Amino acid sequence: MLPRWVKPLLFVLCLLPLARMVWLVLQAVPVNPVEFITRSTGTWALVGLCLSLAISPLRRITGYGALLRVRRMVGLFAFFYAALHLLTYLWLDQFFDWAAILRDVLKRPFVTLGFAAFLLLLPLAVTSTDGWIRRLRRNWGRLHRLVYPAAVLAVLHYLWLVKRDLTEPLLYAAVLAVLLGVRIYWFCRARS
């Protein structure tokens, strides 16, 4: 059983990166606030994706089933930060210049991958309510497997964006490889 205070605490913890980001921008700390907001929201979207993908293996390893009760919130916060990341790009970076955005999507593969990852996360966020879970039944689980390609695309988006030091994107790639590798291993073991 999950203690009642865990979800409210997790909610506040998930909002702390946003509060810190707003505080720093209002204090004029970052030299380029648009780039800072874009990077921060992208980072927290990736962190949220990795954390949400880590919950099932942690539950299986520890046997603590109550961890699943926070997975939806973590996943929705990952989507929240991904949506802020996209909104920052559309509004603060491109000023809703749809022609420039389309050119960017067609010309720069990392932008294309970012859009694709967001489009895969969108139906997951929309169908994360109890009502959708009841309506979709077994198909809900199938639909929510889109998180795997979305996470891969998000990591590739980050890898292709970075020009010099690939340490951080490669770290996310390694974490994702472990999280997906564990699932593949368990799947293959169950089949044999």
Give the CB-side neighbour count of residue 37, counting CA atoms within 13 A: 20
- pLDDT, one tens digit per residue, over 119-148 is 999 999 999 999 999 999 999 999 999 999
In the structure, what pLDDT confidence band is assigned to residue 163 with cuts at 50, 70 and 90?
confident
pLDDT at 74 over 90: yes
Q: Is 137 left (phi over 0), alpha (psi -120 to 50) or beta?
A: left
What single DSSP character describes residue 33? H
Helix or strand holding residue 83 (H, E):
helix 68-87
Instruction: Enumerate the domain spans of the chain.
Output: 6-191
- pLDDT, one tens digit per residue, over 5-39 is 999 999 999 999 999 999 999 998 888 999 999 99
Tell me what pLDDT residue 63 has: 92
Q: How far apart are the C-alpha atoms of 45 and 51, rounded to whole Å?
A: 10
Q: Which of 157, 187, 185 has its CA nearest to residue 172?
A: 157
Strand boundaries in 1-116, DSSP class E: none
What single DSSP character describes residue 56? H
Place of tokens 């294309």: 112
